[in-house]
Amino acid sequence: MAPSTSSALTLKVNGEKHTLSVDHRTTLLDALRERLDLTGTKKGCDQGQCGACTVLIDGRRAVSCLQLAVAAEGREITTIEGVADGDRLHPVQQAFLDLDGFQCGYCTPGQICSALGVIEEHAAGWPSAATTDIRPEAGVPELTAEEIRERMSGNLCRCGAYVSIVQAVARAARAEEETV
Amino acid sequence: MTTTTGPAAVTGAVGSAHTRVEGVAKVTGAARYAAEVPFANLAHGWLVLSTVARGRIRSVEAEPVRRMPGVLDVLYYGNAPRVDAAYEGMMGRPDPTVAVFQTDEIPCAGWPVALIVAETSEQAREAAESLVVHYDKEPHDVDFFPGRPGSYTPDGDGMRVEKGDVEAELAASTHVVDAEYSTPEEHHNAMEPHAATARWDGGRLEVIDSNQGSTWIADELAKLFSLDPASVRVRSEHVGGAFGAKGLRVHQVLAVMAATVLDRPVRVVMTRRQVFSLVGYRSPTAQRVRLGAEPDGRLRAVDHEGLNLTSTVHEFVESSASFGRPMYAADAHRSVNRVVRLNVPTPTYMRAPGEAPGSFALESALDELAEKCGMDPIALRVRNEPEVGPVSGLPFGSRNLTACFEEGARRFGWAERDPRPGVRRDGRWLLGTGVASATFPVIVAPSTASATAEPDGTFTVRITASDIGTGARTALTLVAADALEVEPGRIRVHIADSDFGPATIAGGSMGTRSWGWAVRDAAIELREQLALGGDIPAQGLTVRSDTGAAIGALAQKERHSYGAQFAEAAVDVGTGEVRVRRMLGIYAAGRIINPLTARSQLVGGMTWGLSMALHEEAVRDQITGAHVGADLAGYHFAANADVPHIEADWVDDPDPDDPIGIKGIGEIGIVGAAAAIANAVWHATGVRHRHLPIRPDRVIQAGSPRA
Ligand code: FES
Ligand code: FES
């Protein structure tokens, strides 16, 4: 008997469970786009170099092109389609919209998912390469433009929307802080 | 049935900031790009590219691959349908590369040799990677360098222009700059790789694509496949970046071929690596500039020669030498574009083709001249402002370059600048500032549009425009709103469907100007018809426009946008690192329709300039003739951490010959930006960098400040 090349699995995406049979070679990115019709997650390089495919897996940002779908079973996956609260945009989405943090929009879902991760990671006190004082007692570093640039650098934008992306992330982070 | 016209006219949409009309769709992931529109029974195509840089295909071992699971077909030169590329399209003769699989000849590495079509993309990919192709290799030549033997000056407009006696003026000049500059091969790398889905539906060919003009692509496909133009429909609702690369390419052609052969919908998506070989790129350039001036900086001679490469199958010229022709008054001008044919893919238009590399050379040379004359570089440019086109003698449409420098200098704090190089330090960093001029031609092309008054009081505008991230859809909404004298919220603009009628492309910074004109004409006529009163029929009241006659009647003029680029650079001569600390661009680029998106576009262009100055460089291996590291790790373009705060703004400069005053802003942001940075690096270190990108190894080799 030929070895089986596909498996049935259940993916939990944006709080919803989907049971499907996938080819073992299928990446999480392709499963989302081609099997679940969740095309908001973009493919810019398919090899972990651009960040367009960024989603949140168990709350942490990850590039879904470097993840096999079969390995994502049982994880909580959040894609751009799950970020807004119904018709109410998430503050990060709203800031990208209002400050024009995009042009063609193709990197945008990845940028937004990444920004959600950045805001969480920063609030949890994680340092970055731009953090000057990384001693634990230094506390949460200020989320300066420099910090945002560094932390968002895994997400390429060929349109060159970085200047307004930085402003959008800063605005959303401030809004988040005020609501805590 | 409703009557529309309200009592009070609403205007003022043009010129005020509006978020993108498709913005919510883009931030929520709802906007579907070319590879994301679902089709029942869809098959997936995967390309196979040549691994040799010249030769012939001896055999394609298709049979073993056909037996792999899910494989539906293997298309290659032995079985592909015949096409005919001997036609004239909207942009002239096509690059014969689009006549895919018509020959066994291989003119370059990365040449398409086969398409696997399978039920799933995983199956197609594995089959593509398993396909064995045998080649008879022949020696290739990809070596590009200044003075390259075999180069020639192409026939055709503007390849060689001469006014006055350059040699005599140079000999009579007090100050002479004679320097060579080079720029590397650069790639567009739109974040969305090229993708197309084709299917036959009721005798019509339908293509869902990502392109810069659906009229253009539909017309080319009809000609290539000898189809009735009315039977081809191309749509391109959202485009994930283009920058000149999204024209007719092999993916659309192959999707159509495969859909025809298999009689089912087929999608072809390029991989990122394939994009490096299949969609064009900016040729490297080797340039020489000679400037001659009087002691007071007045130019006697401007001489610019530019060499670029093209493929052996098609001539594309990156006309870098043409940049200075409308820029500076001089007694003598000479500019020559040359090209050499090598075993490489055909280059193409890339954001500011010609102007981007040409401005780097000439605007760097002017900075060198300013140094020799002991003059401020802005004063040098102002001294050489022409009254009329320096070469053409034609009057200018509007020319506000000096106003850009004045405003920019004020905001940048230029007056406090110490002209001496290599004297400012901030810890390990040497600091400097630089300027350069920017210009880009103002172009317009005929387009048609329709405007419909709907019975519910809303309006629908249809035009085969393309929004590649420019904000065109939003700009056209604002233009229509003012012409109809209603709120933008009452208008829906549908774009990018070839069934809407002919319209020009998103290219040459002419999209919004050309389409805006057509939309305005249709909307004004509709408003006038509505003003006569009467009911709106159930199917709506539609008016069509065509700008062909009005555009044909435009007088010949020197029509250009202008800009002043300012940059501050910090250089660590120990590590070779260059950081741009700030950039400011002030533009005279016509009436600005939507300040929010216009600023994004200009800043985006300047970001490209930064990326060109410091990062981008595609490297070809002489032995294999192929790229080294053809991916987004091997080809670095500016990431977020590379980019400082960048400001763009504009002076009032409506185009006198455009009904809305538009000039176009898609390209001018990159022009001159790399030169401003290189000039800032000189000011920081005292060392001239004439070869891009200004890599750390080049900075280290150049050594310490000489000041
Ligand atoms: S598509 Fe996953 S990182 Fe580029
Ligand atoms: S908005 Fe186009 S790539 Fe980022």
| C-alpha dist (Å) from residue A125 to A7, A42, A134 | 39, 29, 9
Minimal CA separation from B135 to chain A, in Å: 29
CB contact under 8 A, B24 and A89: yes
On whether residue B674 sits in a domain, the answer given is no
Minimal CA separation from A81 to chain B, in Å: 6
On whether residue B247 sits in a domain, the answer given is no
Residues of A in contact with B38 (CB under 8 A): 37
> Is the CB–ligand 1 distance for residue A62 below 6 Å?
no
DSSP-assigned letters across all residues of B544-611: EEE-HHHHHTPPP-B-EEEEEEEEEEEEETTTTEEEEEEEEEEEE-B--S-HHHHHHHHHHHHHHHHH
Minimal CA separation from A141 to chain B, in Å: 17
pLDDT tens digit string along A129-159? Answer: 999 998 988 889 999 999 999 999 999 999 9
Domains of chain A: 6-82 (3.10.20.30), 91-179 (1.10.150.120)
Out of A5, A109, A149, the one facing B640 most closely (by C-beta) is A149
CA of B417 to the centre of ligand 1 (A): 44
CB contact under 8 A, A158 and B36: no
| B667 noted as active-site residue | yes
pLDDT for B644 beyond 50: yes
CATH number, domain of B514, equals 3.30.365.10
Residue of chain B nearest A92, judged by CA positions: B27
CA of B621 to the centre of ligand 2 (A): 30
> Of B634, B157, B191, which Cα lies nearest the Cα of B354?
B157
The ipTM of this complex is 0.98
Minimal CA separation from B31 to chain A, in Å: 7
CA of B205 to the centre of ligand 2 (A): 30
Band of pLDDT at residue B156, cut at 50, 70 and 90: confident
- Indicate the residue type of A51: G
A126 touches chain B (CB under 8 A): no
A·B CB contacts under 8 A: 176
> Is the CB–ligand 1 distance for residue A104 below 6 Å?
no
On whether residue B468 sits in a domain, the answer given is yes
Band of pLDDT at residue B2, cut at 50, 70 and 90: very low
CB contact under 8 A, B272 and A44: yes
The pLDDT of residue A94 is 98
Q: What is the mean pLDDT of chain B?
A: 96
CB contact under 8 A, B35 and A43: yes
CA of A53 to the centre of ligand 1 (A): 5
pTM higher than 0.95, yes or no? yes
Residues of B in contact with A33 (CB under 8 A): 35-36
Within 10 angstroms of residue B158's Cβ, the number of other Cβ atoms is: 15
pLDDT tens digit string along B264-281? Answer: 999 999 999 999 999 999
On whether residue B307 sits in a domain, the answer given is no
DSSP-derived 3-state class of residue A112: helix
CA of A73 to the centre of ligand 1 (A): 20
Average pLDDT over residues B525-530: 97
Band of pLDDT at residue B705, cut at 50, 70 and 90: low
Residue of chain B nearest A27, judged by CA positions: B122
User: Relative to the alpha carbon of B271, which ligand is closest?
Assistant: 1
The pLDDT of residue B11 is 85
State yes or no: cis peptide before B693, omega within 30 of 0: yes
Please report, rounded to a whole number, the percentage of residues in chain B having pLDDT higher than 70: 98
Nearest-angstrom CA–CA distance, B433 and B417: 8
pLDDT tens digit string along B53-96? Answer: 999 999 999 999 999 999 999 999 999 999 999 999 999 999 99
DSSP-derived 3-state class of residue B627: strand
Band of pLDDT at residue A1, cut at 50, 70 and 90: low
Pocket test for ligand 2, best of A106, A155, A163 (most atoms within 8 A of CB): A106
CB contact under 8 A, A30 and B601: no
CA-nearest residue for atom 3, ligand 2, is: A157
pLDDT tens digit string along A103-120? Answer: 999 999 999 999 999 999
Nearest-angstrom CA–CA distance, B97 and B100: 6
On whether residue B479 sits in a domain, the answer given is yes
The answer to whether the beta carbons of residues B202 and A63 sit under 8 Å apart is no
pLDDT for B706 beyond 90: no
Closest-lying ligand 2 atom to the alpha carbon of residue A102: 1
pLDDT tens digit string along B5-25? Answer: 444 678 899 999 999 999 999
pLDDT tens digit string along B587-636? Answer: 999 999 999 999 999 999 999 999 999 999 999 999 999 999 999 999 99
On whether residue B481 sits in a domain, the answer given is yes
Domain count, chain B: 1
User: Could you list the residue range(s) of the whole structural domain that residue B503 is in?
Assistant: 23-31+445-552
Please report, rounded to a whole number, the percentage of residues in chain B having pLDDT higher than 90: 97
> Of B588, B596, B598, which Cα lies nearest the Cα of B656?
B588
Residues of A in contact with B272 (CB under 8 A): 44-47, 49-50
User: Relative to the alpha carbon of A103, which ligand is closest?
Assistant: 2
Burial of B165 (0-12, 13-18, 19+ CB in 10 A): middle
Out of A47, A103, A130, the one facing B469 most closely (by C-beta) is A103
On whether residue B139 sits in a domain, the answer given is no
The pLDDT of residue A177 is 78
Average pLDDT over residues B664-690: 98
Task: Determine which one of B185, B220, B568, B667 is catalytic.
Answer: B667
Residues touching ligand 2 (Cβ under 6 Å) are A 102-108, 157-159, 161; B 191, 241, 469
CB contact under 8 A, B632 and A166: no
Interface with A, mutate which of B584, B640, B647 (most A CBs under 10 A): B640
DSSP letter for B97, please.
G
The pLDDT of residue B115 is 98
The pLDDT of residue B8 is 62
On whether residue B458 sits in a domain, the answer given is yes
What are phi and psi for residue B596, nearest 5 degrees? Answer: -65, -50
Closest-lying ligand 1 atom to the alpha carbon of residue A46: 1
**Which residues fall within 8 angstroms of residue B553, CB to CB, at 6 or more apart?**
none
Band of pLDDT at residue A176, cut at 50, 70 and 90: confident
Band of pLDDT at residue A180, cut at 50, 70 and 90: low
pLDDT for A38 beyond 50: yes
A60 touches chain B (CB under 8 A): no
DSSP letter for A85, please.
B
CB contact under 8 A, A162 and B605: no
